[in-house]
Each structure stands twice: as structure tokens, then as C-alpha cells.
Amino acid sequence: MFNLLESLLANRKTPNSARGIYSVCSAHPWVIRAAIQQALSDESPLLIEATSNQVNQHGGYTGLRPADFRRMVVAIAEEEGLSTDRIIFGGDHLGPNAWQKLPAEEAMALAKEMMAEYAAAGFKKLHLDASMACAGETVPLSDEVVAERAAQLCLAAEAALTGERPVYIIGTEVPIPGGATEALTELEVTTRAAAENTLRIHHEIFNRQGLGVVWPRVVGLVVQPGVEFNHDSVVDYIPAKAEELKSLLDSADGLVFEAHSTDYQKPAAYRDLVLDGFAILKVGPALTFAMREAIFALAAIEDELIAPKRRSSLRSVVEEAMVSDPKDWVSHYHGSPEEQRLLRRYSYSDRIRYYWGHPSVQKATDLLISNLNSLSIPETLLSAQMPEHYKVVRARMLSKRPVDLILYSIREALKPYAAACFPASE
């Protein structure tokens, strides 16, 4: 698998021939299934990453440990007919992110335990991210502290390996994982000097910690190319602003940039990013956002076809779950009660994704699908609530089964990434 990833990242051979890979950062089974279907259509490899909040040794918010996550993905791949040797398993923001409220020593002990589980479970792309401050620490942490902790995480991974060696990603984006919470106007692109400093200090500390032999497997650096989204706006990629930063790749042999928070960019931006050396494009909230849009549209269709007592009332159930258990959105969504209500449903940051596994929401989702599977959705109603899907259904290229309609929405969000990373798939 390392050779496959390595070949994909060798993307700067000649102008306009750059290739990259998109990283699907989601643990939702429908997102994973849609990504697998897209990879089959494109005849491409598939990079799927779990984050430290989603999946860790305590289960994360999904209830899955790394080996559980891998088994889930493999099972879906086998159902869809995708060979598992085409799947690259990655771990994103692996560090003390989930335990920032603890003192650094305790948080790092848990982070190393998590890293060992990811490595032992066969994850082959590991993001060493110790950039977040822990209890009592000053923000931001120095590059030296971040690099020292990244080396500790790398040592934990290397000690736990049971097979093929992984590749590593270092560095972090400027905004928090999952989208910014503040108003966005214009982002500062990472300077070349800052990126060089990150590389230099990590290299020095890795050598000091006996990890010199591992350093060639550090293949990617997370930087800020000037892309981000918050609740209701998106900062678009402007290639000219990344000129100085991307020049670093001319002297950093074998290294590529990894771009986070690329969700919701205009389609042409993804190709520009890949051509500029941002060969790994992370996407997550945009996929569950598209999934939520389709589910809510299906709920509107259900309201027209199913008697009130038999309806799932899914949108109300989701709202009740989020209000009764606000921990996954309350620190992100501010404003008046009405503004918060709209954000809970429609924000680009899509904190609703944390609630699909909630028992009441899962029950309502299952009932919605069951209700709509019990009948044939009229094409006219599909046109009213899902006009883009209607066109494809009328062309006899998509069924009206509710799950197929949901998967189509997710794949439509993935297609610009596929076209940018694997141009032959256009």
C-alpha cells in the first residue's frame, strides 16, 4: 500500500500532469459506501480516514475503535465488489485532540495509546498532529513542542506495527478541524518560511529521537493554502496567493502538501490545488452535508405520502436530539435561538453529522427509509423535492430507492474531487 500511495504523491513530474488523491474523512456507512462506488466507477484507489474524535481506543463518537472501523469499511467494500487492496486506511489529527482538557502528560499518554491501535490495525497513512494545547498550556504551542510530541506519537506507531510500514503526515491547518467557527473574510496562506521551519524542526527532532530511518516516510505537510469554510461562507482558493508556498516543493524532494477544509470549493479549484502540489485533498463535512440535504428532501416527500401517525418525523427528531444533547454543537453555533436553530440544520460545518448515530435519530432514519421503500415515489414529487435526482431518474440512470438517492447526492459532492485527482475519470 505504501508503494501505491507513494506513486500517487509523485505528482509534480511535468506541468499539467499532476495527480493527487482525495481523502474521505467520514465514518458514516452511507458516505463510505458512496465513496466506494465512486472509486469503482473511476477505477481509482480510495483513501478513507478516521479522525481521532470519531474513532479511538475508547470508541470516539461513533463507538468504533480503529480495528472496528477498518472491519466496517472492508465489509462495505466486499458488498460493493471493491478489492480491499485498493483502499488506503488513514488516521487524521492523531494526537491529544480528544483529550485537550487534560494535562499534557495524561493527554499524550492517551494519544500514544490511540496511535498504537491505529498502527496495529493496519492504517497506512497517519497524521501526527500534536498542535493542540492541553490544560494549562499557552496557545499556540511552539514548533519544538509540537515536533517533540509528534516524534513521541511516531515512536508509538512504529512500536505497534504488525505489517507494512505506514507513511506519515506532519503539521496542521490553522483553523480548527472541521471548519472555522468565526466569521471569515480572508485567510493568511502559510508562508514558505513557516513551512520550512516546521520541516526543519521536525527533521531535527526525529533524528534526535532515533527516527531518522523513518523520516523518508514523512511524505506530506499540512499547510494552509487559503481555503476554509465556516457556518455560511467559503473562502475560495486563489492560486496566486500560494505561489511562494508552493515553491518550497521544488527543494523538498518527495514531499507534497495536504490541504484540509477543502469542502465546498468551486470544482476548478480542486484541479488548481492538485497542480500546485496540494496532492492530498481532505473532504468530510461536505459529504455529510450532501447526505443531510438528501435525507431532509426525502423526509419532505414522506410528509406528502405517509399518514401522520406513520411518519418518521425525522427532522423534528433530529432537532430534539440536538437540543437535548447539545455538546457537539453548542460551542460552535452562537447567536439567537432562531439563528442557532438554522445553524443546527443548515450550517456548512454540519455539526448534525455527530447525531446520525443517536438512537432516536437512527430509529427515525430507518423508519423513513422503510416507509419510502414501501411505495413508489411519484416522479412529479421527486421533481419537486429533488430536481437534480429527478433528471437522472428520468434518464433511467438512477433508481428511486431512497438509499440510492442519498448515495447519489454524496457521490455528486465527490465527483469534483475525483475529476481533479484522477483526470482520466472525467
Amino acid letter for position 55: V
pLDDT at 423: 82
pLDDT at 5: 53
- Ranking 6-20, 55-69, 360-374, 390-404 by mean pLDDT, the lowest is 6-20
**Using an 8 Å Cβ cutoff, are 43 and 88 in contact?**
no
pLDDT at 329: 96
Asked if pLDDT for residue 248 goes beyond 50, the answer is yes
70: number of CA atoms within 13 Å, CB side? 19
> pLDDT over 70 for what percent of the chain?
92
CA separation for the pair 87, 125 (Å, rounded): 11
Assign 3-class secondary structure to 72-121: HHHHHHHHHCCCHHHEEEEEEEECHHHHCCCCHHHHHHHHHHHHHHHHHC
CA separation for the pair 389, 405 (Å, rounded): 7
Name the grid cell of 354. Answer: 455527530
Distance of CA 12 to the CA centre of its chain: 24
Residue 55: name the closest of 16, 24, 27, 87 by CA. 27
Asked if pLDDT for residue 10 goes beyond 90, the answer is no
Asked if pLDDT for residue 183 goes beyond 60, the answer is no
Name the grid cell of 259. Answer: 490541504
φ/ψ of 220, rounded to 5, equals: -140, 150
Angle, vertex CA 247, rays to CA 245 and CA 250, nearest 5: 135
Please report the domains of the chain, with CATH numbers, ordered by start residue: 2-283 (3.20.20.70), 288-412 (1.10.400.20)
Q: How confident is the model at residue 163 (pLDDT cuts 50, 70, 90)?
A: confident
Q: Give the helix/strand (H/E) hosting 299.
A: helix 285-305
Strand ranges in 95-217 using DSSP code E only, listed in sequence order: 125-128, 167-171
CA separation for the pair 168, 115 (Å, rounded): 12
Q: How confident is the model at residue 321 (pLDDT cuts 50, 70, 90)?
A: very high
- Helix/strand/coil for 63: coil
282: number of CA atoms within 13 Å, CB side? 33
**Using an 8 Å Cβ cutoff, are 160 and 116 in contact?**
yes
Question: Positive or negative, the Cα torsion across 133, 137, 140, 145?
Answer: negative
Asked if pLDDT for residue 300 goes beyond 60, the answer is yes
Compute CA distances 107 → 101, 135, 184, whole Å: 8, 9, 31
pLDDT digits (tens, 9 = 90+) for 93-139: 999 999 999 999 999 999 999 999 999 999 999 999 999 999 999 98
Measured between its terminal Cα atoms, the distance across the chain in Å is 25
Q: How confident is the model at residue 172 (pLDDT cuts 50, 70, 90)?
A: confident
Asked if pLDDT for residue 292 goes beyond 70, the answer is yes
Asked if pLDDT for residue 182 goes beyond 80, the answer is no
Amino acid letter for position 248: L
Indicate the pTM of the whole model: 0.94
**Using an 8 Å Cβ cutoff, are 42 and 307 in contact?**
no
- The number of beta carbons lying within 10 Å of the beta carbon of residue 100 is 14
Compute CA distances 64 → 55, 59, 67, 71, whole Å: 5, 4, 8, 10
Mean pLDDT of the chain: 92
pLDDT digits (tens, 9 = 90+) for 263-275: 999 999 999 999 9
φ/ψ of 72, rounded to 5, equals: -60, -45
**Using an 8 Å Cβ cutoff, are 297 and 409 in contact?**
no
Q: Which residues of 191-229 are buried (b: 16+ CB within 10 A; e: fewer)?
A: ebebbeebbebbbebbeebebeebeebbbbbbbbbbbbb
Asked if pLDDT for residue 340 goes beyond 70, the answer is yes
Asked if pLDDT for residue 201 goes beyond 80, the answer is yes
pLDDT at 4: 45
Residue 322: name the closest of 340, 299, 304 by CA. 340
The average pLDDT across 62-88 equals 97
pLDDT at 162: 86
pLDDT at 344: 98
pLDDT at 18: 72
**Using an 8 Å Cβ cutoff, are 247 and 277 in contact?**
no
Q: Which residue has the cell 512500536?
A: 159
pLDDT at 237: 97
The residues, ordered by sequence, that sit 6+ positions from 55 with a Cβ below 8 Å of its Cβ are: 27, 62, 64, 65, 66, 68, 69, 91
The average pLDDT across 203-231 equals 96
Q: How confident is the model at residue 253 (pLDDT cuts 50, 70, 90)?
A: confident
- Helix/strand/coil for 225: coil
Residue 237: name the closest of 303, 281, 183 by CA. 281
> pLDDT over 90 for what percent of the chain?
88
Residue 48: name the closest of 280, 219, 357, 348 by CA. 280
Asked if pLDDT for residue 50 goes beyond 60, the answer is yes
